[in-house]
Amino acid sequence: SQQGEEDPQALSIQEGENATMNCSYKTSINNLQWYRQNSGRGLVHLILIRSNEREKHSGRLRVTLDTSKKSSSLLITASRAADTASYFCATDAGDDKIIFGKGTRLHILP
Amino acid sequence: DAGVTQSPTHLIKTRGQQVTLRCSPKSGHDTVSWYQQALGQGPQFIFQYYEEEERQRGNFPDRFSGHQFPNYSSELNVNALLLGDSALYLCASSLGVGFPSTEAFFGQGTRLTVV
């Protein structure tokens, strides 16, 4: 079963613009992670944010977490062609099962 | 430092056959989780191994079984293959279990096609 649900399902933006993806989940979590996947290959870990954190940055990535709304957002600033990929949020409810959403397919237009 | 390695990268099997997929975790990691990812979907949790035992299991039938070896590498076995088992199978390794969880590192996956 899916825990997280990303929104939108697909997103196309011009290179250089910012991209924002959202994730909503259903149950309480210990942490939430964002992953990137290129063309059906392995997932690359981007950021882990713990339930007691509200915001985290890594390079051009900014992740927020609102546990009261059970939601998270991933912002990619100054997008590049190489950012074209599927992005997944994954939640850990403390039972050591990392549960993924269905993903947002991001396409950066030249 | 080698990351998570999976073998084989691609595999074609006939319905009813059995398949074994292999995973070597990232150096220093002792926990291996397996996921099934159908086309256009997010990865679905199959099970997790720690200390050579299955600790957690998702909603997958008993046809899916696994094993973890003393060197922490792992195998995923699927018996009586169905067409619906065609998917990308991903292995993830991490360190330890329980809170606080750490990030999981994924391999490139094994693309299984059942015909």
Kindly report, residue by residue over A38-47, the tens digit of the pLDDT: 987 889 999 9
How far is the alpha carbon of B46 from chain A, nearest alpha carbon, in Å? Answer: 9
In this prediction, residue A1 has a pLDDT band, given cuts at 50, 70 and 90, of very low
Shortest distance between the Cα of B79 and any Cα of chain A, in A, equals: 22
Tokens of B1: 């430092």
- Where residue A3 falls among pLDDT bands split at 50, 70, 90? low
Q: What is the average per-residue pLDDT within B14-32?
A: 95
Q: What is the dihedral of CA B45, A83, A56, A29, to 10 degrees?
A: -20
**Using a CB-CB distance cutoff of 8 angstroms, which residues of chain A are in contact with residue B100?**
30-31, 50
pLDDT band for position B115 (50/70/90)?
A: very high
Sequential DSSP letters for B25-80: PPTT--EEEEEEE-TTS--EEEEEEETTEEEEE-S--TTEEEEE-TTS-EEEEE-S
Strand A19-24 vs strand A71-76: parallel, antiparallel, or unpaired? antiparallel
Q: B88 to chain A: nearest residue by CA?
A: A40
Does the pLDDT of residue A29 top 90, yes or no? no
Nearest to B44 by CA among B101, B83, B92: B92
From CA A46, how far away is CA B41, in angstroms rounded? Answer: 19
User: Between chains, do A95 and B56 touch, taking CB under 8 Å as contact?
Assistant: yes
What one-character DSSP code corresponds to residue A1?
-
Interface residues of chain A, partner chain B, Cβ below 8 Å: 1-2, 4, 30-31, 33, 35, 40-45, 48, 50, 88, 92, 94-103
Q: What percent of chain B has pLDDT over 70?
A: 93
Nearest-CB residue to B43 (from A41, A50, A100): A100
Amino acid B98: pLDDT: 59
